[in-house]
């Protein structure tokens, strides 16, 4: 995984995206920071300062890494002008990349969410659920991702509504084998790909 990421950054981005070959080290640093802290709620100014490039350059690098399928960039509202400025949340492309690139111990919650985004993005629009749940799929289905003990409380707390008011909301839970009520096993989204 690390070699694939290096090949994309060192060879493909300079050739296909006109990225300055002298900045490939900074792009690797950017990917390393994201691997250590995903899911990353974006503060472009801090991220730019950490890698030592201008804010607009960081945004370009994020977009390039998204097009190269090294990152998944999520936006809270796909119809607003804000999307043109910065993503709301950043995930690595898949959980294997987290294990390959992270310098700190990997958090299981990050792996779960990364897996869900990776599987659901094919054939669906995945948005960051800023107000409800972790993700909003196709503008209507809400998913909260977690372990077997995950409850609907997180969805209700974010919206300050009763769970009965939130239609089409589900929990994707790890460590369960069978679906019950609105709680689905996380492994089911593996069939979406």
Per-residue pLDDT of the chain (193 residues; tens, 9 = 90+): 899 999 999 999 999 998 988 899 999 999 988 888 867 677 889 999 999 999 999 999 999 999 999 999 999 866 665 555 789 899 999 999 999 998 888 889 999 999 999 999 998 999 998 777 889 999 889 899 999 988 877 665 555 454 445 678 899 999 999 998 889 999 999 998 6
Q: CB of 34 within 8 A of CB of 87?
A: no
Q: How far apart are CA 29 and CA 48, in angstroms?
A: 11
Q: How far apart are CA 47 and CA 30, in angstroms?
A: 8
**Residues carrying CATH 1.10.10.10, the chain:** 1-106
Here the contacts of 104-107 (C-beta below 8 Å, separation 24 or greater) are: 104/36
Q: CB of 88 within 8 A of CB of 74?
A: yes
The pLDDT, as a whole number, for residue 37 is 80
What is the CATH T-level fold of the domain 1-106, as seen in this structure? Arc Repressor Mutant, subunit A (1.10.10)
Three-class SS state of 177: coil
């Amino acid at each position: 995984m690390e070699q694939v990421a290096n090949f994309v950054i060192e060879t493909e981005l300079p050739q296909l995206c006109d990225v300055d070959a002298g900045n490939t080290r900074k792009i690797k640093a950017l990917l390393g920071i994201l691997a250590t802290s995903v899911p990353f709620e974006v503060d472009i100014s801090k991220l730019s300062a950490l890698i030592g490039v201008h804010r607009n350059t960081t945004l370009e690098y994020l977009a390039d890494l998204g097009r190269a399928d090294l990152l998944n960039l999520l936006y809270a509202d796909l119809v607003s002008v804000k999307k043109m400025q910065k993503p709301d949340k950043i995930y690595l492309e898949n959980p294997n990349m987290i294990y390959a690139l992270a310098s700190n111990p990997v958090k299981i919650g990050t792996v779960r969410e990364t897996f869900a985004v990776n599987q659901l993005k094919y054939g669906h629009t995945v948005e960051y659920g800023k107000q409800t749940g972790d993700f909003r799929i196709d503008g209507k289905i809400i998913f909260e991702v977690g372990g077997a003990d995950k409850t609907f409380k997180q969805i209700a707390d974010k919206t300050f509504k009763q769970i009965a008011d939130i239609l089409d909301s589900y929990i994707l839970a790890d460590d369960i084998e069978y679906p019950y009520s609105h709680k689905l096993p996380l492994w089911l989204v593996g069939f979406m790909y």
